[in-house]
Each structure stands twice: as C-alpha cells, then as structure tokens.
A and B are shown apart, each in its own frame.
Chain A
Amino acid sequence: MASRIPRLLAILCTGVGMSVAGLIMQQLCMNKFVSPSTGATISSAQFGILLALIYMSNSTLWGRTLFAFVFAILGTWIFVCLIQRIQFKDVVMVPLVGIMFGNVITGLTNFLAYKYEMTQALSTWLVGHFSMVLRGRYEIVYMVIPLVILAFIFADHFNIVGMGKDFSKNLGVPYNLVLFMGLTIAAMITSAIVTIVGSISYIGLIVPNIVAMFKGDRIRGTMIDTALFGALFVLICDIIGRIIIMPYELPIELIVGILGSIIFVILLLYQLKNGRKAVRFGKRGDAG
C-alpha cells in the first residue's frame, strides 16, 4: 500500500493533467494537433531540468520543478507567439513547426548533456515511468489538481478565446490575458508531471481528440470526460506495462508510445477515409 497508493495517485494525476493540458492547448491554438509534445512544452521542461541539474547540482526536487516551470512556460509562449505571427497553408504545418522547434530545444539539451556527460542521466527524464514514485518525492504532482480546477473555472473563457481574437474582444474577454494564462496553466501542469514522472508523449494529443469525436468541442462539457478518459488511458497502459514482464515492469512511456502511435495513425487514416466530418481533427481550419 505504501508504494501502490502514491503510484495510483500519480497515475491519475498524470492522466488527468496531461490530457487537460493538451485540451487547453488545442483549444487556445485552434489546432487539433497541438499538444505539450508537439508544442515544445515538454522539450523546454527537459531543458530546464537539465540546467538545474548542471548548474545547481545540489538542487532539490522543488528547485528542478521551478526551473522546469519557467522554461516550459517560456517555451510554450514563444511557440504560440511564433505560430500566431505566421499564416499556415495547412493545419498540419503547425505541429510540424512545433516538432522542429522542439528539436531545436532538444538539440541544445543534448549538447549540454553531452558536454557534461549527463546523457544517460537525462534519459531518466526523457522516459516517463512510475517506478520511482514513492512517498516523499512525488507530492509535487498534486499541483496538477488545483491547476486543473483553475482550468475548469476558466473553461468558457478558453472556449471563447478559441474562436478567435475579434470574437473574444466582441464578447469582452481579454484575449491575450486569457491566452497566456491558459498556456501557463498547461505548461505548469506539464512540467510538474515531467519533473516527477518523466515525459509521456501522446496523451495530450490523443485523449482530447478521441473525446472530441464523441462529445464535440465545447470545452466545459468535454473537460471532465477528457480528464477521466486520460486517467483511464494511463491506468490501463500502466497495468499493461506491469503485466508483460512480471515481476519487472516496462516504463509507461514505452507502452504509451507504442499504443499512442498506433491509435494516432488509425485516427488519422480513419479521418482521411471518412472525410473531415467523421473526426474533428483540424475542423476549425487554419490556425493563427
């Protein structure tokens, strides 16, 4: 129980947090392909953690979390500023630019890690896993809960901002304030999870899209479903990871990576086959 209860709570927080962060980012950027992993959030958080490890070698978990926060927020802001300045010919270009932007940051991270011989230590933060979740070193993950509640309170605002700058001004919603606040919430959720669990790709991308297929785009209505489905998804993946090579376990990132890739490709092909109405991927047209 001493090890399983923290683990269960961490799993639930991760699932809820990552999927809500993905939902917020997709809504605010008006693009169904944006998520913490395709929007440079995760790679910036890793960069922050590495800097904390190198320059403050006796830093506590809190110190690392702070670094991860700052860099994740900065990275996400810069990315969103970039994609707002640019007119995209196709929605798919937004995540491609995000991935390349993430590659730049990862390149920096790798360079520093290579220079200080920390690449293998870094891979602890590159691979999400729950095996180190023990009492005393996982509590930061609880920060996800107030952030998610905050996101829920502002859900309608995010929805309005997602309809565009002019529209939200018409309705009296301060566009930039809500946009950057929403991004900050998403980035903080992501970096809290990256510090404790490690990076887990795809959850923020897939879960909101699957839920939106059935529930539509109104964020207040879908946020609870997204959160629950995210928790369920991570829980199932974790159980699979623990069963396959019992009594050892596979890191969650591997399971999510494999399952997530397959689900994502299936969704994509399904959408292409059945037209844009079937799945709401990129229904809103161009971003920015």
Chain B
Amino acid sequence: MNTAALRKNRIRLVFMAAFAVVLSVVYMVYGVKFDSQVLFVYSMKIRTPKLFAMVITGFAIGSASIVFQSIINNTIVTPCLLGMDALYTLIHTAVVFIAGAGSALAVNPEYSFVIDLSLMGVTATVVYSYLFKKTKHNVLYVLLVGTVLTSFFSSIQNTLTRIMDPNEYDTLLTTLVASFNNMNTSIMLLSVIVLAVTAFALRKELRILDVLTLGKDQAVNLGVDYDSSVRKLLLGVTLYIAVATAMVGPLAFLGLIVANLSRQLLNTYRHCYLILGSAFFGMIVLVGGQIVVERVFSYTIPVSVFITLFGGIYFLHLLLSKRRV
C-alpha cells in the first residue's frame, strides 16, 4: 500500500477518535448545572461509569466483530451468531426462575456479572473447542452448530418465561434489555482485565490476522498454523462478546454495523487500522445513541432497539448491494 493511502487512513482514524472524544464530552456535560457544585459532582458520579461502560463495550464489540468477520472470511456475519446473547438471556431467566427475583444472585450486579462471565466463558470454550475438533476445523459448521445452540437456549428460556410469575418476569425484563444503568467500578475493572489479558494472550494470532484473511491455502503456504490460530481467535472473540454482553446485555447487530462502517471508511485490509476504526465506531454509535435516547426520547426506548432497527436495515442494504457473500 502506498504511503498516501496510509496517511489518509491515519488521518481518518484520528478524526474518528476525536469525534468519539467530542461525543463523550457532550454526553458528560450536556445539561449539567455548573454553578452548583453538588449537582455537578452528582451528575458526574452518575454519568462517568455509564460512559466508561459504553466505551468498553464499544471497544470490545467493535474489535471482536472485525476479527470475527475476518476469520469467517465474510463481511455480513455478526458475532451474535455465536449464541452468547441467547445464553445470557437464558442464564438470567434461569437465575430469576430458580432463585427468585429478589435473591442476591439476581439483584447484585457483581454476582450476576461473575456468573454470566464464568458460565459463558466456560460454555464457549468447552463447546467451541470440542466443535473445532469434531468438525476438523470447519468454521462454517462450527457457526451452524452455534445457531443450533442459540435455538436450544432460547427454547429453554421461552419455556421458563411461560411458566414464570408475571411480577418476577417484569423484573427480569429490565435486565434482558441492554442498558448502561447498572454499572459499577468493580465490574468494569474486571472486564478491562479480562479484555486485556485475552488480547495479550492472542497477540501472536492478532499479528498474523492479515495473513489469515488470504484464505486457508495461502496462509498455510506462508507458514501459518491456520487451524489453531483460527480456533484461538474465535475463542477470544467469544470471550470479548461474552464480556460485553455480561456487562450491558444483548446488542446483536452493533458488531455488524461498526465492522462494516469501518471497512467502508478505511479502504484497507490491514487489521491494525480496521480494528481500531471499528472500536472507535463502536464507541461513537453507543455514546451517540445513548445521547439520542436520553435527550430526544427521554429514556422511553432502550438504545438496543435503535441498534437492532438500524442494524437490520443496514444488514438488508448490505445483502442487496453485494452479489456474493
């Protein structure tokens, strides 16, 4: 790639980062009364954890989606096919169903975060490692089984919902819709640690991501252990999505939007740019969406609904504009 295009991409990335920062500042200060110190401190206390949660989620989903698309070698897939959303919904329904809506397990966000993350992490690792072995590293078949798991989880969850006390269901519903309201510092610290450790453990695989997108034959020719790299990366992606989902709830189509926007805007195949771009887009979409939800719709509609609607339209647009997937 020539240097002019590289510089263009760098400039675009800087712009995106700047835009993300501007949006964050707008989110933090909009409508804050600066003259009263008590009110100022109070609104900062409310907004800071939310902002951090959005930034972490945007980063996790954005970067994971690009990696996911690259290892599947297809740009219209989104990591929601991995079944983590359905598993999250099932875990929460089961906890409320078994322990009751008032129990510590359901009420305490730290407990439920740890339960979510450990269950999702363990399930994903065990199931997907096993599947990779069984399917002889055929990623598409692994995904197909992933969707089977999704309907498996949701048929259990739907059954539990049907026989649940309507009052308990109402409490449950609030946790099943993605929101940034239940944040606290220990959760975010834990998420950041998990994300950082995963990225560090996968640093070798991430570096050869550009080679992996050439396809299996080319990559093997160039001396890459294709199968094991793809397996490790997919586990990493699952873990990232699990962290994001456990923190805020299901955000199915966000990954599709941000990864494709990043690919469209940054005209490159280099993943160091694409991942960064997608992560910035994730933050921009989430923070911007949250501003719209809070200021325009005054909290009546959750941000996940917007993302699903726009993501759905964008998905159809992608399908119609591509001749080959």
**What is the distance, in angstroms, from A268's C-beta to the closest C-beta of chain B?**
6
Q: Which residue of B lies closest to A258 (CB)?
A: B152
Cβ of B305: which chain A residues have Cβ within 8 Å of it? 107, 110-111, 114
With A86-B324, A100-B81 as known contacts, state yes or no: A251 contacts B144, CB within 8 Å.
Answer: no
Q: Is B308 an interface residue (CB 8 A)?
A: yes
- Residue pair B159, A264 in contact (C-beta under 8 Å): no
Q: Is A58 an interface residue (CB 8 A)?
A: no
Q: Is B25 an interface residue (CB 8 A)?
A: no
Q: Is A60 an interface residue (CB 8 A)?
A: no
With A123-B158, A127-B159, A261-B149 as known contacts, state yes or no: A93 contacts B325, CB within 8 Å.
Answer: yes
Contacting residue for A119 out of B134, B148, B173, B308, CB 8 A: B173
Contacting residue for B155 out of A38, A82, A90, A258, CB 8 A: A258
Cβ of B74: which chain A residues have Cβ within 8 Å of it? 89, 93
Q: Is B184 an interface residue (CB 8 A)?
A: no
Contacting residue for B325 out of A88, A253, A261, A272, CB 8 A: A88
**What is the distance, in angstroms, from A205's C-beta to the closest C-beta of chain B?**
9
With A103-B80, A257-B151, A261-B148 as known contacts, state yes or no: A85 contacts B162, CB within 8 Å.
Answer: no
Q: Which residues of B216-231 have CB atoms within 8 Å of chain A's CB atoms?
A: none
Cβ of A119: which chain B residues have Cβ within 8 Å of it? 169, 173
With A86-B322, A97-B325, A272-B136 as known contacts, state yes or no: A257 contacts B312, CB within 8 Å.
Answer: no
**What is the distance, in angstroms, from A27's C-beta to the closest C-beta of chain B?**
20
Cα separation A38 to B81 with both chains bound (whole Å): 13
Cα separation A103 to B307 with both chains bound (whole Å): 12
Indicate with 1 or 0, residue by residue over B295-325, a CB within 8 angstroms of chain A CB atoms. Answer: 0000001100100110110011001101111
Indicate with 1 or 0, residue by residue over B160-172, a CB within 8 angstroms of chain A CB atoms. Answer: 0110101001000
Indicate with 1 or 0, residue by residue over A92-134, a CB within 8 angstroms of chain B CB atoms. Answer: 1101110111011001101100110001100110110100000
- Residue pair B324, A261 in contact (C-beta under 8 Å): no
Q: Is A265 an interface residue (CB 8 A)?
A: yes
Cβ of A161: which chain B residues have Cβ within 8 Å of it? none
Cβ of A265: which chain B residues have Cβ within 8 Å of it? 145, 148
Cβ of B94: which chain A residues have Cβ within 8 Å of it? none
Contacting residue for A95 out of B147, B177, B252, B308, CB 8 A: B147
Q: Is B200 an interface residue (CB 8 A)?
A: no
With A96-B147, A201-B151 as known contacts, state yes or no: A253 contacts B322, CB within 8 Å.
Answer: no
B residues with a Cβ closer than 8 A to A are 74, 76-78, 80-81, 134-136, 138, 140-141, 143-145, 147-152, 155-156, 158-159, 161-162, 164, 166, 169, 173, 177, 252-253, 301-302, 305, 308-309, 311-312, 315-316, 319-320, 322-325
